[in-house]
């Protein structure tokens, strides 16, 4: 960013990703405004702390209300880290991921000072992948689940507006995010919570951790690397990023079973992973997803810096 002490508004600032974004932007010297339904906690971060909090229900507000809130902040950058997946119905995901973004885009269009809108998307927008090659941004989205469908429609809303120069907007399609603070509800968040409970009480019943089939292969990226990527977007020339989709991931697919086993190994606790056999032949999710992150390297100068062990160790340390 070329602006002196720019204002960065983080929507969903009380969440897992939002907290890391706030810390990263504070460390960069930006003035941070965190917007969420509740006042967030802190995940650390170095540098001057210039941060404000706005308690605001994005799901209950219309474009005029959201626009007025953003205008009051003087936003130079708006990062949408709001939304949801874990423990949500399909209808709730559509509201949190699609309708919210539609409202946000309508609001940003009205602002006289046009901020950069960064929409945090998902690898699940693409649908099934291949073990042979990473998914590029040219791939036509074909989401295989309700979450992916809700996110791809949100992305289209941003990209359509950017294509007509109604706003400056970029979509980051992000791999499966892990790292410090990953909440329960996700597979690895649930495992980390189980390990923490076992470490505290030593309950023998916790020695066996029974999980469903773990044969899927996924691209995992550290939440701190995601925050670095978002910062890199704000520093890139807007003409280079606006209207673009940029993949953010590790570029490697790892089996869910191996990641779960490694998390238990790093905990050094006597917990045994027991994987239930798959029943039936139907499957609502995809077996392999791996992103090609060449565009992020070319446009942003970004590459992931943290390996899987660093991410899992960070998750255990924060549990």
The catalytic residue positions are 147
Q: Is residue 300 situated within a structural domain?
A: yes
Q: Where are the alpha helices (H) located in 40-165, listed in sequence order?
A: 63-73, 90-93, 100-109, 146-163
Q: Which residues of the chain have pLDDT under 70?
A: 1-4, 40-50, 202-206, 278-286, 319
Of 221, 200, 214, which is closest to residue 319 (Cα–Cα)?
A: 200
Q: Is residue 202 situated within a structural domain?
A: no
What is the CB-side half-sphere exposure of residue 120 using CA atoms within 13 A?
26
pLDDT tens digit string along 77-100?
A: 999 999 988 778 999 999 999 999
Number of structural domains the chain divides into? 1
- Look up the CATH number of the domain holding residue 27: 3.40.50.720
- For residue 87, the model assigns a pLDDT of 76
Backbone angles phi, psi at 192, to 5 degrees: -60, -40
> What's the domain range around 240?
7-178+220-251+288-306
Q: Is residue 212 situated within a structural domain?
A: no
pLDDT tens digit string along 45-60?
A: 544 456 899 999 999 9
Q: Is residue 277 situated within a structural domain?
A: no
Q: Is residue 282 situated within a structural domain?
A: no
């Amino acid at each position: 960013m070329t602006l002196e002490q720019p204002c960065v508004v983080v929507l969903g600032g009380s969440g897992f990703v939002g907290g890391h974004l706030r810390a990263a932007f504070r460390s960069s010297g930006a003035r941070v405004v965190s917007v969420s339904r509740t006042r967030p906690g802190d995940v650390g971060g170095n540098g001057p702390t210039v941060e404000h909090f706005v308690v605001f229900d994005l799901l209950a507000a219309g474009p005029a209300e959201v626009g007025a809130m953003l205008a009051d902040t003087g936003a130079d950058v708006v990062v949408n880290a709001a939304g949801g997946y874990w423990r949500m119905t399909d209808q709730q995901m559509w509201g949190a991921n699609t309708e919210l973004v539609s409202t946000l885009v309508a609001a940003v269009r009205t602002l006289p000072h046009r901020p950069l809108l960064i929409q945090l998307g998902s690898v699940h927008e693409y649908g099934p992948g291949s073990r042979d090659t990473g998914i590029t941004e040219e791939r036509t989205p074909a989401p295989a689940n309700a979450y992916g469908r809700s996110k791809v429609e949100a992305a289209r809303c941003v990209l359509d507006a950017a294509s007509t120069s109604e706003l400056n907007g970029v979509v980051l399609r992000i791999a499966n995010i892990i790292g410090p603070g990953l909440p329960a509800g996700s597979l690895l968040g649930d495992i980390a919570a189980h390990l923490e409970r076992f470490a505290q009480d030593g309950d023998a019943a916790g020695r066996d951790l029974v999980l469903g089939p773990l044969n899927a292969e996924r691209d995992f990226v550290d939440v701190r690397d995601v925050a670095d990527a978002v910062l890199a977007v704000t520093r890139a020339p807007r003409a280079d990023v606006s209207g673009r989709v940029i993949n953010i991931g590790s570029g490697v697919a790892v089996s869910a079973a191996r990641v779960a086993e490694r998390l238990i190994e790093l905990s050094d606790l006597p917990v045994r992973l027991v994987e239930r056999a798959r029943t039936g032949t139907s499957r609502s999710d995809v077996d392999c997803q791996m992103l090609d992150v060449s565009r992020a390297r070319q446009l942003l100068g970004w590459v992931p810096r943290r390996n899987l062990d660093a991410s899992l160790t960070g998750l255990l340390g924060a549990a």
